[in-house]
Structure 1
């Protein structure tokens, strides 16, 4: 606040001006020290760039299993003309989805996909509560732009390393995804450009809306031959897997 002009004086004396100037200098110094302290607490003694982490690279999928992409942009494993089609609705940040991918999917592929009986389609269903689910889905799809096999590699890598990235801030997660792409031998420059394209987020959001419209109870969820598997009785992901297997066997007439 400016000091009021003293009555009876045409000009303010030099002493108050000097005191005011000293006050502002002291205030500026204190403010600078506060800012330095905040930066120090966040970044340490130096403002280092965000560090990325080395991923655990999952084992490659069975090279003999066919893979491709549907006309509407979903990736699949298995023969296109398989007797049974299964759709997996999943969220990359969902712990149950990670458990399924890391612990149960290999046996499922061996028992149903490698035999030629089932084609598995992966459909993005990022839940609103998971802030990194949409960026993760975009990243996997951008890997898929380089090759269908790269999509499935990135898909597995995200689930395998979920604990590593699930709480990263958006900017840090983007950098981490580019690093993941490099660790898989992908073109990092093309990948980094791809994850920034608005149309890729629109695609993921579109699948999110379609999944929500089905009234799914959560993730992971599955549909066998177009019918959502009722997993209301399931108490674990293992139970969901058992219900899906039963529905497939029924569809196969076993």
Structure 2
């Protein structure tokens, strides 16, 4: 089965397969990848974009790459269930952290999204975040192409914000003002051993289940303090 993982000369990490249907690019399902153990990781949530209530008893973290087709599938297929069951009910808050490893588009789009968050706030970030995945081409060949150019990112942003706000973001991006936030995410991913995308953590512990029901069980146990 095809998968989106970071190439490495080291021993292959443990792979977790979460089958959700056939993708057009022959990715057989949704894959969560991690070479981490089950230890609880300490995350700094304070400056991360999130959905839900910051006082929610459970924190769900997704490490993702805007260039990753499996992340696109996750955000379009499974995230709506997470939002309905956990975020909208106040049971969990959901955070996104960057693990941009596929090509130059990965880092460019992540830094641009961080600039959106810095200049326009949380709401605009999530609207742009969703739109980026919607605009991701279905053709697998695009992974080797520079699709998420600065012009593309700017025009995509203008679909949801004014010209004035878009220029604020472009200026911030060109001045590398959001790079530190992106580097912080990448350092976190490196520290805890994230090996591919999407990788999910629940209250600091990597999710290693095989189905959405497994995730529900993990979250409900976390709510109960188990």
Q: Does 1:114 align with 2:123?
A: no
Q: TM-score, normalised by structure 2?
A: 0.70
**In the alignment, which residue of structure 2 is the partner of 1:247?**
218
Offset, 1:70:
4.5
Residue of 177, 182, 207 corresponding to 1:204: 182
**In the alignment, which residue of structure 2 is the partner of 1:134?**
107
Q: Which runs of 4+ in 1 moved over 4 A?
A: 164-168
Q: Which has the higher helix share?
A: 1
Structure 1: segments with no counterpart, 5+ residues: 1-68
Q: Does 1:191 align with 2:165?
A: no
Residue of 149, 152, 174 corresponding to 1:173: 149
State the structure with bigger RCO (CA 8 A, min sep 6), 1 or 2.
Answer: 2
Contact 1:134 1:201 in 2 (8 A): no
Contact 1:92 1:98 in 2 (8 A): yes
Offset, 1:147:
2.6
1:147-187 per-residue CA deviation (whole Å, 9 max, x = no partner) reads 311000000001111117755537x7100111111111242
Length, aligned pairs only: 176
Q: TM-score, normalised by structure 1?
A: 0.63
Distance 1:242 1:137 in 2: 30
**1:1-254 aligned within 5 A:** 70-71=45-46, 73-127=47-101, 129-144=102-117, 145-163=119-137, 168-169=145-146, 173-186=149-162, 187-230=165-208, 234=210, 239=211, 241-253=212-224
The change in CA–CA distance for 1:168 and 1:189 in structure 2 (over 3 A counts) is farther
- Decide which structure has the larger Cα Rg and report it: 1
Distance 2:152 2:190 in 1: 28
